[in-house]
Chains A and B, each alone.
Chain A
Amino acid sequence: MRNIVAFPLLLLAVILQSSVVSQIKLLSGYADLPLLMLGAWALQKRVKSAWHWAALGCVLLGFISTMPWLVLVIGYFAVVFIAQTLQKRVWQAPLLAMFSVTFIGTLFLNLLSFSVLRVLGTPFVFADVIGLITLPSLLLNMLFSIPVYAFMRDLARWVYPAEEYE
């Protein structure tokens, strides 16, 4: 039942991503709110539903975006995987873990998007993609990662109260 909160929240994130965040551009890049939310959610120790959130995020994004499903599924599940791996190893420094997830996740998703779209015939130039999309998106994701992490941590405490968790 607790996973129900994922639906309105991810839906809101996807709507915000499509209507607001995509307008806040740095060169040609912009932040990826669903990625940040999934990463921050998967980093919470008490959260057990990160994979469900990733699946739901992929469905919602796949509904709106032209990006091939393969990219979304591999990309966002990889973000959750990276976050859960780091959460076990860097558990004493959650913000450092969040920055790492954001950094690795953004680079991975961008590289995957570039590779798949290139294979499908879109004439991208690698240097343009790195300079105009990946690095600006990375910077914006890093900036947004702190408030998103704080929000998701509070949400995790609300969804999974401490006494029940213990």
Chain B
Amino acid sequence: MNSRSLQTTIVFLVIGGILALALGGFFGSASRQFSSVLVELQTWVSLRYRGVQDFVTAPRDIVSLRAQNEELKSQVSQLQTQVIELQQRVSETEILAALVDFSRSNPENTYKAAAVIGRDPSPFLHYIIINRGSNDDIRRGMPVVTNQGLVGRVDAVIADAARVQLITDPASAINIYLQNAETDAVLFGSVTGDVSLDMISQDSAVEPGDLILTSGLGGGYPSDLIIGQVVTMRTLEFELFQQATVQPAVDFTRLEIVLVITNFRPVDITPLVP
């Protein structure tokens, strides 16, 4: 055996010994210390390199970041606009779906949907303006409803718009029928937008919660349209009639889309009134 092969053998033995010690777990603490030092060194070098890189490339990045920021801002504003538009569409769709359900559940009537585009400029009068007129076969006197109940009736019509008198208008008076008490009465509007019942017979036992429907008397409205519910009763023995406050079924502050009943023609009974 020459000296060269002896050296090789020794090297292999040493390496094999080290491997055997390492596999046996004798180098655990030493290797952990070594690796932690290595990681720290690696981190230090990497951080310094990144610092130098940032220093060199910073001005160009700020410009590009600003451009990106502006672009993102404009995208955000566009998306916000889209979100608002979509929310409005969802709201409209929900209303329309409810109105479609309502018209399907009342097939005896034909309806024309209309959007509310304005209100009377005077606070003394409770009228709305809708975007359907005589071009859409809307005529004076036609009742206007939502899926919740009666809104009012068409008061004036032009080609592409119509004015609707709400049931809350101070000049409005509607013949109604109290379903549970089986009696007739008259519903009046007021300055405040509240509605109340009058002309309820003293003999009638009307209770809070009773449903109020149109009676159809007088020919101004079709019968059985929901108006609301009785909230409180006022009965005084020395008065001819009882009165009641009413919770309307329709929220008049949030009217957006309404339905005009186009197959109803009001009857003018004025010549018959003595």
* Residue ranges of A at the interface with B (Cβ–Cβ < 8 Å): 14-15, 17-19, 22-23, 25, 27-30, 32, 34, 61, 64-67, 113-114, 117, 121-125, 128-129, 132-133, 137
Contact = CB atoms under 8 A, between A and B. Distances in A.
B170 A23 contact: no
Contact of B191 (A61, A66, A67, A125): A125
A132 B122 contact: no
Given A28-B193, A66-B127, A128-B192, A14 B171 contact: no
Contacts of B163: 64, 66
A65 B122 contact: yes
Contacts of A117: 124-125, 170-171
B191 A18 contact: no
Nearest to A117: B124
Interface residues of B, number: 22
B119 A23 contact: yes
Contacts, number: 79
Interface in B39-76: none
Contacts of A15: 118
Interface of B is mostly: loop
Given A122-B170, A124-B170, A28 B191 contact: yes
Most chain A CB atoms below 10 A, which of B123, B170, B171, B188: B123
Given A66-B155, A124-B191, A22 B121 contact: yes
B92 to A, nearest CB: 17
A57 to B, nearest CB: 10
B195 interface: no
Nearest to B116: A19
5 contacts: A18-B121, A64-B163, A66-B156, A117-B171, A133-B124
Interface in B102-153: 117-125, 127, 129
A123 B191 CA distance: 9
B120 A132 contact: no
B123 A137 contact: yes
Interface string B187-221: 01011110000000000000000000000000000
B54 to A, nearest CB: 51
A66 B120 CA distance: 7
Contacts of B193: 28
